[in-house]
Amino acid sequence: MPVHRLGEGGERGGVVLISEVWGVDEALLGWARRLVEDDFTVAVPDLWWRHGGVPALGSSAEVSAAVGRLDDGTTLRDVAAALALLPRDRPRVAMGFCVGGLYARLASAALPGLAAAVEFYGRIVYPTLSAEKPAQPLDLLPGRACPLLCHFGELDPIAPPHHVDELERRLAGQALPGRVFRYPGVGHGFMNATRPGWDAAASELAWQRTQRFLDEALPA
């Protein structure tokens, strides 16, 4: 599996940074470099390597169809393989955007050994279940084994407010820390400066909150 590695020897730990549906692009690598500046080693796996590269994505229907082809179990095994490339003697974190945010949240329940997970606007409820998506993500939350931070735009059609409400309700019923932040006036993809939904103020605020969360969640 192709994996970009940045910041070898990061003293604070390692982060698997999981991409949006657009794959490993300059926006994602920009956030990876920000993590390196914060003294993390970063592994960025290619979610699409089993599918011949990032598919042609134009309409929302094409995006939905592409995401539907990603098998949850197989993708989480790829995330686990990327985690295995990070130093084992330091805390390890799963973080992702869009579909990568969903897999960061799923990793918090499915993959042992994580110190924390951070999600940016992943899907909360699948429209339908399938062989690739055999279970609703919300139903997997009871397996969560690390603190989780989630960021959502209030205008996001992929993660509408009533879905975020349900996620927040379920997190509140768990012993481990789970926090949701909502960003007024912004929609999906507000962290990606190369996409139309980017919002500079919301993205910087979300990153500052993420830095504080990692400061609190990871051992000094």
Domain count, the chain: 1
Q: Which string of DSSP letters, residue by residue, matches 166-206? A: HHHHHHHTSSS-EEEEEETT--TTTT-TTSTT--HHHHHHH
- Give the phi and the psi of residue 208 in degrees, each rounded to 5: -60, -40
Give the helix ranges, DSSP H, for the chain.
26-37, 60-68, 72-83, 99-110, 161-172, 200-217
CATH number at residue 12: 3.40.50.1820
Domain that holds residue 108: 3-217
d(C-alpha 111, C-alpha 14), whole Å: 15
- Give the phi and the psi of residue 5 in degrees, each rounded to 5: -120, 130
Please, are residues 176 and 144 in contact by the beta-carbon 8 Å criterion?
Answer: yes
d(C-alpha 49, C-alpha 38), whole Å: 28
For 22, the 3-state DSSP assignment is coil
pTM: 0.96
Q: At what angle do helices 99-110 and 72-83 cross, to 10 degrees?
A: 80
For 8, the 3-state DSSP assignment is coil
Pairing of strands 13-18, 178-183: unpaired
Please, are residues 147 and 176 in contact by the beta-carbon 8 Å criterion?
Answer: yes
Give me the tens of pLDDT residue by residue for the chain, a chain 220 residues long: 899 999 988 999 999 999 999 899 999 999 999 999 999 999 999 999 998 888 777 777 787 888 888 999 999 999 999 999 999 899 999 999 999 999 999 999 999 999 999 999 999 999 999 999 999 999 999 999 999 999 999 999 999 999 999 999 999 999 999 999 999 999 999 999 999 999 999 999 999 999 999 999 998 7
User: How many residues does this entry show for the chain?
Assistant: 220
Please, are residues 10 and 48 in contact by the beta-carbon 8 Å criterion?
Answer: no
d(C-alpha 138, C-alpha 118), whole Å: 16
pLDDT number for residue 136:
98
Residue type, 197: G
Strand partners, 41: 14
